[in-house]
Amino acid sequence: MLPPVRWFLLLCAGEIAVVIAGQVSIPAAVLLQILVPLIIFRSSGAIDSSSTNMVFAAAFGLATVLFTGLLLSFRHTLIPLLLLTAAGLLAVFLITISKYRIDRRYRGTA
Amino acid sequence: MDLTRCGTGMVLLALVLAFFAFLFDDIPAAVAAGALVFFLAARGVAFLSALSSTAASLTVSRTVSSRYVRQGTAIEVTTRVDHTLRPSFFPGLTDLLPDGSALIGGSPAEVHEGMIRYTIAPLSIGEHAFPGIRLTLADLFFTATLTDRRAQSTAPSLTVLPASDYTLSGKDLFGESESRSISPLPSPGIRSFREYLPGDDPRKIDWKLSAKHDALWVREYMGRSDTAQLLIVDLPDASLPFSSEAFTRLKEAAVAAIAPLLSPSRGIPVLLISGANLVSFSPVESNPEKVITLMRQLSPFPRLHHLYRHASTPALRRRYSPLNGNGMSPEIPLEAGHAPTGEPFARSLALVTGSFLSRRTPTTYEAQLARALHPLNTSTAHLFSLAGGDVSHLSLLAEQATLRGMAVHLHIPEESCDLSTRAKINRCSFASVEVV
């Protein structure tokens, strides 16, 4: 199994390849972008073939395709990046709320 | 929920790509940044799902050796933990200690075949429930901690009773009453006389008796003696190899031995030595948690001074005294033809050794021991040692403590209890030897 530093370096190299491929073909870049993290983290053992991870991979691929469609419709990056920031913050908020609910469920009675 | 190093790296990579995309209006870079954000968000949701399912499958069953205990008594806790876990996630379980309890053995974070075993000593009275169990889940991107405080995870509760360390009222059989204050004035009654020891108060010397016997004798006054016990730990030499497992067991035995004696109202003297080096001495350590923490954090100490087959001056005087048979110890072999036996040789040997011994000064270690043991009014001392190598320092310690009326109980690990060590220890004046 590769050490985490190697995974990160592989991911960085993969992202550079995505950016370069995107200069030629956007669909190829999107396909590469979906495959790169899945292949890297599947080889590291962080992602397996369980049903949960299949749903996770499908959600990730769908979100990436939708975001690419948004980018192509706008033809510039400012507003999509602002929307992406908002989506990221919303995800952090929802994850925090979910964690709080789990904590509350198991904290017992005072 | 926190990001791991890998997760943090992915966030930074997404930020760099987003900045690049914003700066150069590059759509592929924006796609890459967005994909990484979505990847982490989706992974976060999957992680929370795994955390929730693992927590739901958690069953805790805890048993204690006794539910009703006195303050400071050691309790063995066994916790059985069962849970199901999705692959690619790493769990960590820690059993939380009740409030006011000190860990004296084992580890509440070590799960072996689904069991956690450790020993605690409750130090505060009252009813204390276990606070629950802490689950730590981690994967490559996230880590989270969840404390399960449901009823099944906090049972059973401990009822800690006081150590019955209250002041006695009235007078005892000797007509003395308990006093909360310590008076500097000695009692007028004299209990006994004994020979002068280095460190004794010169005001206690009985000059008439000293003149009669041609040696210094001191008076011992009456008074209620304290029942506190002295704790002595002999640390191993840091520059030499030693069994860390035996040392850990020795520390746990020391904590288990002193835990029942500890209470906030009564201190315990703690003496730390390392061979013939006095590391530290605390005449009254009244904070039980501090003592237990100190015991658990003990580590080997570099020895600056070493003793080898060293005996104290009184011991040598006794050995070469012409009154003791032929004046020779059986430990010193005599070669046939070179050592005549009988009265003249013993007298000559006693004369020669006596002239040397009269000018022999005690070592720094002996002087330090005398100063440390002098103010103590205890009758029992517990000595914990690996007893490796030369045990002259232990012999000197036992001799001085015995002279002051202390019974020294030696505790040694099983590894050190070989024939040669036993022979050396038997020559020391220990009241008992316990193998831990």
Whether residue B170 lies inside any domain: the answer is no
What are the angstrom distances between the C-alpha of B329 and each of B325, B336, B356?
9, 16, 18
Is residue B250 a contact partner of residue B384, using CB atoms and an 8 Å limit? yes
Beta pairing class for B59-64 and B75-82? antiparallel
Of A20, A50, A67, the CB nearest to B38: A67
Q: What is the pLDDT along chain B (436 residues), one digit of tens a residue?
A: 888 888 899 899 999 999 999 998 888 999 999 999 999 998 898 889 889 988 888 888 999 988 888 777 788 899 998 888 877 788 888 899 888 788 877 888 888 778 899 888 887 778 888 888 999 998 888 899 999 888 888 888 888 876 654 444 444 444 445 454 445 555 556 767 888 877 777 888 899 999 998 889 988 776 554 556 788 999 998 888 888 888 888 888 888 777 766 665 566 788 899 988 998 888 777 677 777 778 878 888 888 888 888 888 888 877 777 655 544 444 444 444 444 455 777 778 878 888 888 888 888 898 888 888 887 777 788 899 988 888 889 999 998 888 888 888 898 888 877 888 888 888 888 888 888 8
Residue B38 falls within a domain, yes or no? yes
pLDDT at B273: 92
Contacts of A71 in chain B (CB under 8 A): 27, 30-31, 34
Q: What is the pLDDT of residue A92?
A: 92
Is residue A64 over pLDDT 80? Answer: yes
Q: The domain that contains B154 carries what CATH number?
A: 2.60.40
| CATH at B284 | 3.40.50.410
Question: Maximum CA pair distance of chain B?
Answer: 111
In this structure, are B288 and B368 located in the same domain?
yes
User: Within this chain, do residues A28 and A57 fall inside the same structural domain, yes or no?
Assistant: yes
Whether B135 and B200 map to the same domain: the answer is no
- DSSP letters of A46-96? SS-SSHHHHHHHHHHHHHHHHHHHHHHHHSSSHHHHHHHHHHHHHHHHHHH
Domain total in chain B: 4
Q: Any CB–CB contact under 8 A between B138 and chain A?
A: no
B97 at A interface, C-beta within 8 A: no
On whether both B244 and B293 belong to a single domain, the answer is yes
Q: Same domain for B149 and B274?
A: no
Does B188 lie at the interface with A, CB-CB under 8 angstroms? no
pLDDT of res. B331: 45
Quote the domain boundaries for residue B12: 2-48
Measured between CA atoms, how close is A3 to chain B, in angstroms? 10
Is A46 found in the same domain as A9? Answer: yes
Q: Compute the nearest-CA separation of B395 from chain A (Å).
A: 54
Residues B272 and B386 in one domain: yes
The count of other CB atoms within 10 Å of the CB of residue B386 is 20
Determine, yes or no, domain membership for B256.
yes
- Domain shared by B278 and B149, yes or no: no
Q: pLDDT for A2-33, tens place per residue?
A: 666 788 888 899 999 999 998 988 999 999 99
* Same structural domain, B199 and B68: no
Find the CB nearest A106 among B5, B31, B146.
B146
Co-location of A99 and A61 in the same domain: no
The verdict on A58 and A96 lying in the same domain is: no
Is the residue at B338 inside a domain?
Answer: no
Both A55 and A102 in a single domain?
A: no
Average pLDDT, chain A: 86
User: A65 and A108 share a domain?
Assistant: no
Domain count, chain A: 2
CB-CB: which of B5, B18, B144 is closest to A99? Answer: B144
Shared domain check, A54 and A14: yes
Q: Buried b / exposed e across B277-308, counting CB within 10 Å, b at 16+?
A: bbeebbeebeebeebbebbbebebbebeeebe
Dist CA B315 CA B324 (whole Å): 12
B9 interface with A at CB cutoff 8 Å: yes
Q: Which residues in A lie closer than 8 A to residue B139 (C-beta atoms)? A: 46
- Best of A60, A89, A109 to substitute, by most chain B Cβ atoms within 10 angstroms, is A60
Q: Are residues B259 and B387 in the same domain?
A: yes
Q: Is B96 on the interface with A (CB under 8 A)?
A: no
At B174, the amino acid letter reads F
Residue B372 and residue B258 share a domain: yes
Contact A23 B18 (CB under 8 A): no
Shared domain for A13 and A64, answered yes or no, is yes
Whether B38 and A64 lie within 8 Å, measured CB to CB: yes
Q: Which domain holds residue A40?
A: 1-74
The pLDDT, as a whole number, for residue B171 is 46
Nearest to A23 among B28, B34, B46 (CB): B28
Lowest mean pLDDT across A58-67, A76-85, B147-156, B185-194: B185-194
Indicate whether B141 and B279 sit together in one domain. Answer: no
Q: Are residues B214 and B279 in the same domain?
A: no
> Which of B142, B161, B180 is the C-terminal boundary of a domain?
B161
Q: Identify the bridge partners of residue B68 per DSSP, sorted by sequence position.
A: B159
Same domain membership, residue A106 and residue A80: yes
- Nearest-by-CA chain A residue for B55: A106
Pair (A4, A14) in one structural domain: yes
Token pair belonging to B168 = 């006695």
Residue B256, φ and ψ in degrees, nearest 5: -65, -30
Interface residue of B39, B96, B130, B153 to substitute, partner A, most A CBs within 10 Å: B39
A–B CB contacts, 8 A cutoff, strictly below: 162
Is B171 within the bounds of a domain?
no
CA-CA distance, B27 to B22, in Å (whole number)? 9
Q: Do A25 and A42 fall into the same domain? A: yes
Q: Are residues A18 and A63 in the same domain?
A: yes
Instruction: Say if B339 falls within a structural domain.
Output: no
Say what the pLDDT of residue B185 is. 55
pLDDT at B188: 59
Q: Is B27 among the domain residues?
A: yes
Interface ipTM: 0.91
Residue B130 to chain A, least CA–CA distance (Å) = 12
CA dihedral B315, B320, B322, B325 (to 10 degrees): 90
- In sequence order, the 6+-apart residues with CB closer than 8 A to the CB of B63 are B77, B78, B79, B156
Same domain as B107, residue B41: no
Mutate to test the interface with A, among B4, B10, B12, B31 (most CBs of A within 10 A): B31
**Does residue A108 register a pLDDT over 50?**
yes
Q: Is residue A47 scored above 90 in pLDDT?
A: no
CB contact under 8 A, A91 and B44: yes
**Which residues are paired to B192 by β-bridges?**
B220
Picking from B109, B140, B161, the residue at the C-terminal end of a domain is B161
